[in-house]
Amino acid sequence: MAHIEHVAIWCRDLETMREFYVSQFGAVAGPLYRNCARGFQSYFLSFSAGARLELMSLEQPLANAVPAPATGLAHFALALGTEAEVDAMTARLRAAGSPVVDGPRRTGDGYYESVVLDPEGNRVELMGC
């Protein structure tokens, strides 16, 4: 059964946003992740009830960087369980006409995922555990 794994937000000031959620809501921040090839950096913040928030920013947008709005919702992630389930769901959605915009692939920070668009163009990240 799929469940929401995390919600991601594009940020202008990554460190200020991290400190806000840590100090005001008791989130625990993981280590800073950087992908220099894409000009991308992020933190995953964990909350005591198990929910996670991904704070993301582009250091200096590069020609091959992921297009991003200045701020706001980036995507939400559904945990499917396994890599095979990510592959199968991605194939099923592609066959049904849903755009697959990335993956399936193993990311630089170790996740196995693909990204599809829902009917209104929202990015849905499908994750294997």
| Predicted pLDDT at 91 | 95
Exposed / middle / buried, residue 30 (Cβ in 10 Å: 0-12, 13-18, 19+): middle
**Domains of the chain: residue spans and CATH:** 3-128 (3.10.180.10)
Identify the residue whose tokens are 């940020």.
11
- Please give the pLDDT value at position 60: 64
The answer to whether residue 57 scores a pLDDT higher than 70 is yes
Which comes out higher in pLDDT, residue 58 or 101?
A: 101
Give percent of the chain with pLDDT exceeding 90: 42
> How far is the C-alpha of 124 from the C-alpha of 101, rounded, in Å?
10
Q: Where are the alpha helices (DSSP H) in 1-129?
A: 14-25, 83-95
- The answer to whether residues 35 and 56 touch, using CB atoms and an 8 Å cutoff, is no
pTM, two decimal places: 0.67
